[in-house]
Amino acid sequence: MNLEEVYPVDSLESKFDKPVLIDYYGMDDIEEISELEPGCLFELGASAWMHYIEAGAKVNPQKLSKYFDERDPLIFRRVEKIMKRKVVQDIVLIRAHVDDDSLERDICGQLLLSRTYPNNLHISDVEFSNPYEPVDESNQEYSFHEYRSLGLFSELLENIISLGKSNNIKKITLSAASNDQISYFEQHGFKVEDTDFAKQAIELDSGIPMERKCI
150 within 8 A of 12, measured Cβ to Cβ: yes
Residue 198: CATH number of its domain = 3.40.630.30
What pLDDT is attached to residue 144? 66
* Boundaries of domain holding 115: 4-213
Q: Quick check: pTM over 0.75?
A: yes
Q: Where are the beta strands (DSSP E) in 99-189?
A: 107-116, 120-134, 147-149, 171-176
What pLDDT is attached to residue 51? 87
What pLDDT is attached to residue 146? 87
Q: How far apart are CA 3 and CA 163, in angstroms?
A: 8
Query: What's the pLDDT tens digit per position in 135-178?
Result: 987 776 766 678 999 999 999 999 999 999 999 999 999 999 89
Side-chain-side CA neighbours of 162 within 13 Å: the count stands at 12
Q: What is the DSSP letter of 195?
A: S
37 within 8 A of 45, measured Cβ to Cβ: no
Which residue stretches of the chain have pLDDT < 50? none
Report how far Cα 31 is from the mean position of its chain's Cα atoms: 17
127 pairs with which residues across the strands? 110
Q: How far apart are CA 15 and CA 11, in angstroms?
A: 7
- What is the number of domains present in the chain? 1
Say what the alpha-carbon torsion angle 144, 149, 155, 159 is, to the nearest 10 degrees. -30
